[in-house]
Amino acid sequence: MSDTFKIVNLGLPKTGTTTLTRALRRAQIRTVDWRIHRRQSTDPELVGKHLGTVMYRDYFDHGDPFHRLNDFRAFNELSQAGLHYTIWPQTDWGMIDAIQRHHPDTRFLLNMRDPAETASSIMRWGNLGTLRLPNTNVPGLPKGYGAEESHLARWVLGHYMFCERVFSGADNFLAFDITDPDAPKKVGAFLGIDLPWWGRANENKSAPAKPAAPADQPV
């Protein structure tokens, strides 16, 4: 297996995706997270675009979701949750299968967190739980659902079960709890790298009174 294999995280918002991104970048792995910034690409067609949007365009136009993203090695925070649109590549079997077919050495990660705690965090993260998720058709969470923490917790658990079923018995998949003290060791061993940093990034530091985030803010 090549030591330049792709790394794809299938995690949901508020489950530690930002922590994983920071850990991979500190390990000198070229990682794209949610949006492609000017410092990451000189391609004017990519700069400012959401990762999930680029992946879907290339998936439908070329078959390979990473057709224009081969300069990157790791892909995290794939979803884009707006007020009137929503994109969730990590929940799409066709997308996952296309990545595996075009990049057979890819290793997939699923960072997990207790579903109830995740639901609580989503509800407190700007307008993600109060507006964006319940007002769009999210895979596994149709429009009209998601305004209650119990709905969100069930959706989170459903995604975990989906990933576990898709990768059942596969050796290119690692699910781990972001709160597990051994998580960095498990991730490092799975990827064959040393992770010089592991901590908590982008956490909710305040109570529910936190000001609403813009509709296109990463989660």
Which pLDDT does position 206 carry in this prediction? 52
Mean pLDDT to the nearest integer, 55-81: 96
Sign of the CA dihedral running 63, 68, 71, 75: negative
Q: What percent of the chain has pLDDT over 70?
A: 90
pLDDT confidence tier of residue 163, bands split at 50, 70 and 90: very high
Calpha distance 8→146 (Å, rounded):
26
- Of the candidates 10, 104, 24, 110, the one whose C-alpha atom is nearest the C-alpha of residue 55 is 10
Calpha distance 160→122 (Å, rounded):
16
User: Could you count the other beta carbons within 10 Å of the beta carbon of residue 30?
Assistant: 11
Mean pLDDT to the nearest integer, 15-39: 93
pTM of the model: 0.89
Domain residue limits, the chain: 7-191
Mean pLDDT to the nearest integer, 18-24: 96
Tokens 């705690």 -> residue: 117
CATH of domain 7-191: 3.40.50.300
Tell me the H-state helices in the chain.
Answer: 17-26, 51-62, 93-102, 115-123, 149-166, 183-191
Which pLDDT does position 201 carry in this prediction? 64
- Higher model confidence: residue 42 or residue 131? 131
- Higher model confidence: residue 187 or residue 214? 187
Tokens 């609403």 -> residue: 212
Which pLDDT does position 43 carry in this prediction? 83
How much of the chain is helix, strand and coil, in % rounded to 5?
35, 15, 50
CA atoms within 13 A on the CB side of 176: 21
Q: Is the pLDDT of residue 181 over 70?
A: yes
